[in-house]
């Protein structure tokens, strides 16, 4: 069944680590980073991935596509405080669907997992239409990375 097959995802070894220093303005009255800012950290990780693997916002845009996020989730294990240094590990998750899936793991300096999360993006073309098939430029990228 096609729809089942499209739901099959597999973790790849395309992973990028990105370092972040927690900003004062990201903390809240509890003295810890407000939970919503982890989506900013995920974005930092995703953009770092895009720069390194040539598949960022500007590359997509140049090919006539944007990739809005349609789903995101975050699970928190440990709090973060002002000045903390963390590493965001962003891993590309392969899927036969016309989607971009990333998983994130944020680690503190002791190597402990602070949080994990996932985002799902779709492709929308210049006419504001959702692409039901994988755009050519992304297929080419997948081919180059042995993901097809």
In angstroms, rounded to a whole number, what is the distance separating the alpha carbons of residues 69 and 72? Answer: 7
Write the binding mask 107 to 146 for its own copies: x where contact by CB under 8 A, - elsewhere: ----------------------------------------
In angstroms, rounded to a whole number, what is the distance separating the alpha carbons of residues 42 and 89? Answer: 9
Q: Do 65 and 55 form a contact (C-beta atoms < 8 A)? A: no
Select from 79, 93, 107, 108 the one that contacts its own copies (CB under 8 A).
79
Write down the residue that tokens 């016309």 correspond to: 98
Select from 6, 8, 70, 133 the one that contacts its own copies (CB under 8 A).
70
The verdict on 62 binding its own copies (CB under 8 A) reads: no
The verdict on 30 binding its own copies (CB under 8 A) reads: yes
In angstroms, rounded to a whole number, what is the distance separating the alpha carbons of residues 30 and 125? Answer: 42
- State which residue, 23 or 144, has the beta carbon closest to its own copies: 23
The verdict on 32 binding its own copies (CB under 8 A) reads: yes
Task: Pinpoint the alpha helices (H) of the chain.
Answer: 2-7, 38-53, 57-62, 136-144
The verdict on 76 binding its own copies (CB under 8 A) reads: yes
Select from 5, 36, 130, 140 the one that contacts its own copies (CB under 8 A).
36
Cα 145–chain centre separation: 17
Cα 94–chain centre separation: 12
Distances (CA, A) of 146 to 46, 52, 76, 139: 20, 17, 33, 10
The verdict on 54 binding its own copies (CB under 8 A) reads: no
Select from 9, 40, 108, 145 the one that contacts its own copies (CB under 8 A).
40
Interface contacts to its own copies, rule CB under 8 A? 23-25, 27-32, 34-36, 39-40, 43-44, 47, 57-58, 66, 68-76, 79, 81-83
């Amino acid at each position: 069944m096609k729809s089942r097959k499209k739901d099959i995802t597999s973790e790849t070894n395309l992973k990028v680590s990105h370092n972040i220093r927690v900003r004062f303005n990201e903390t809240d009255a509890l003295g810890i980073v407000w939970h919503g800012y982890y989506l900013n950290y995920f974005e930092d990780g995703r953009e770092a991935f895009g720069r390194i693997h040539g598949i960022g916002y500007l590359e997509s845009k140049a090919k006539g596509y944007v990739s809005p996020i349609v789903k995101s989730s975050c699970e928190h294990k440990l709090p973060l405080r002002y000045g903390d240094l963390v590493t965001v590990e962003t891993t590309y998750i392969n899927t036969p669907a016309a989607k971009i899936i990333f998983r994130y793991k944020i680690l503190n300096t002791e190597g402990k997992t602070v949080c994990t999360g996932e985002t799902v993006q779709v492709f929308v073309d210049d006419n504001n239409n959702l692409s039901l098939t994988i755009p050519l430029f992304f297929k080419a990228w997948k081919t180059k990375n042995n993901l097809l």
